[in-house]
Structure 1
Amino acid sequence: MSLAPPFTAETAHAKVKKAQDLWNTQNPAKVTLAYTEGSIWRNRSSFLRGHREIQDFLTAKWQKEKNYKLRKELFAFTDNQIAVQFWYEYQDAHDGMKWKRCYGLEDWTFAEDGRMRKRQMSGNDVEITEEQRWFKGDVDVNKVPIGEEHW
């Protein structure tokens, strides 16, 4: 099955899960290859362009965000665009290793070859306790029930 546009419901969902799995590797070099060389990003208040800036950003991200686990879900799609809702948990190496969860939305635009050419991300971090964590141990993030109040 091709994960290049135009997307169907099936291929859009598969593309989201492939991105989720890729980001969960926490491998900046590998993740960067999913984007076009001139890919444009807004990640919260950071504005990036191209592989070098993306890889540098991801390297710094995962130096800060330890024990990172991410879940992405398809929100909407068109021929070459996908919107996702996501949640991830991490320990903040810059804040005493406190557990945090980020809630957010992304919109993606794809090139004809299936690589992402534009990524816009908005997210908010919430401090959580050990007991409030969803993604503990080797849990399958796709099977964790997330209540409506968090969607």
Structure 2
Amino acid sequence: MPEDRPPHPPFTRETALRKVQAAEDAWNTRDPRRVASAYTRDSTWRNRDVFVNGREEIVAFLTQKWERELDYALRKSLWAFHEDRIAVRFQYEWHDAGGRWWRSHGNELWEFDERGLMRRREASINDVAITEGGRRIHGPRPADEYGADIPIR
């Protein structure tokens, strides 16, 4: 049975929003295999200055990421979409092993195949030190906030 990950391109505003929320939900599980299953087997990534190719490298990358970025909690917002592409902005908060808290801001460009699997991901990310009391994101997005935008500052 072929792999399939609806919604499929070409995207409408509604289906692009669903795709973005599904990605946020999956990443907030911090389950590398679950996240990697949304990408093509030969998906290519640029994540900051790291280049990743294929699902197994995605799993290895995410495993290492979530070993460093503890209590990771993410929000994504739709920025734009066209046919088989979606652009998002995001922020996530996490702390390192030393207890220092960070807010990471960024943008992602996504390209999908006809089955709705992501074949390309480009991510640019900046980190800002925050205090634990300055956190705004505490775990996955509550269901009553789905589709809500997040303040970027």
Normalising to structure 1: TM-score of the pair? 0.90
Shift of 1:140: 2.8
SS of residue in 1 equivalent to 2:93: strand
> 2:3 is matched with which residue?
none
SS of residue in 2 equivalent to 1:4: coil
The one-letter code sitting in structure 2 at the alignment partner of 1:105 is: N
Distance 1:137 1:78, change over 3 A: closer
Describe the superposition over 1:83-110 as per-residue Cα deviations: whole angstroms up to 9, x where unpaired: 00001000112xx121100000000000
> 1:26 is matched with which residue?
30
Unaligned 5+ runs, structure 2: 1-5
> 1:6 is matched with which residue?
10
> 1:50 is matched with which residue?
54
Shift of 1:15: 0.3
Distance 1:23 1:45, change over 3 A: same
> 1:100 is matched with which residue?
102
How many residues are matched?
A: 146
Normalising to structure 2: TM-score of the pair? 0.89
> 1:109 is matched with which residue?
111
SS of residue in 2 equivalent to 1:136: coil
Structure 1 stretches of at least 4 aligned residues deviating more than 2 Å after TM superposition: 136-147
Unaligned 5+ runs, structure 1: none
Q: Out of 65, 68, 73, which is 1:69 matched to?
A: 73
Shift of 1:135: 1.4
